[in-house]
Amino acid sequence: MTDPNNFTQKGDPNYDLEQQTEKISGDAQEKVESERQRAQEVADSTPKTPEEMLNNPDVVAPKTKKKVAEKKKAQAEAGAKKGNEKFEVDLDRYCKFVDRVTSQASKDYVSYMERLGELHDQGCNIERLDTAASGICAEGGEFMEIVKKIKFQGKPWNRDNKEHLQKELGDIMWYVANAAMALDMRLDEIIYVNTLKLAARYPEGMFDVNYSENRAPGDI
């Protein structure tokens, strides 16, 4: 019976060439299929996880596997030991250290009074300056306490609390005014100098994180 897929018959000049072509094509297909099966076998036998890799004797030698296991065990033990360590400080020694690095005027009455006298002789109104510094910090803390409770503790944002903030801000301003008088400066002068400082820091006239983080020498 004649094969409908063959375009030549035996005895045709092209018959032998066609047969050879078919044989080469068949051999090539068999080789491709064989390689595909071998690749699939390799893929199936290749470890997919670190655990499979360590447990595969064809990939990791037993001695290497043992070393890896020992290293992981040592790391785990070191981590557990570190986590259980208690950090201790000798508080008596720490207090002695603190005392050594504290100035005499900060811990001795006579030295403190002598220092106040020195500042007075230098023209410093230390009484008003100290009052202002202490008050700004104290009243600023009270202002912050209200804001903290509004942010984190459910204190309502209402008229009463806004008025409370206004009053605390007024207390802060009272101490700021005292600070200005201690420095023998006007409030508008302080605001003007601050404006000049910020204008120099932000040459484009607006906030820029780059200029904020990378300040020029002397920009405090």
pLDDT given at position 88:
82
pLDDT given at position 52:
67
174 part of a folded domain: yes
Q: How far apart are CA 147 and CA 140, in angstroms?
A: 11
Structure tokens at 191: 């605001």
pLDDT given at position 20:
67
Domain boundary among 124, 147, 170: 124
Assess whether 118 and 131 both reside in one domain: no
Assess whether 165 and 198 both reside in one domain: no
CA 64 to chain centre: 37
pLDDT given at position 63:
60
136 part of a folded domain: yes
The pTM of this model reads: 0.59
Assess whether 118 and 157 both reside in one domain: no
pLDDT given at position 176:
98
Q: How far apart are CA 181 and CA 188, in angstroms?
A: 12
4 part of a folded domain: no
Q: How many folded domains does the chain comprise?
A: 3
Assess whether 164 and 209 both reside in one domain: no
Q: How far apart are CA 75 and CA 81, in angstroms?
A: 10
63 part of a folded domain: no
Assess whether 177 and 210 both reside in one domain: no
Assess whether 218 and 202 both reside in one domain: yes
193 part of a folded domain: yes
Range of the domain at 215: 186-220
pLDDT given at position 47:
66
pLDDT tens, per residue, the chain with 220 residues: 445 555 555 556 566 656 666 666 677 677 777 777 877 777 777 666 666 665 666 555 556 667 777 877 888 777 766 666 677 888 999 999 999 999 999 999 999 999 999 999 999 999 999 999 999 999 999 999 999 999 999 999 999 999 999 999 999 999 999 999 999 999 999 999 999 999 999 999 999 999 999 998 889 8
pLDDT given at position 75:
80
Assess whether 99 and 145 both reside in one domain: no
pLDDT given at position 39:
73
151 part of a folded domain: yes
Q: How far apart are CA 170 and CA 74, in angstroms?
A: 62
pLDDT tens per residue across span 44-102 = 776 666 666 656 665 555 566 677 778 778 887 777 666 666 778 889 999 999 999 99
pLDDT given at position 14:
60
Closest CA to 165 of 177, 190, 148, 187: 148
84 part of a folded domain: no
CB 15 within 8 A of CB 5: no
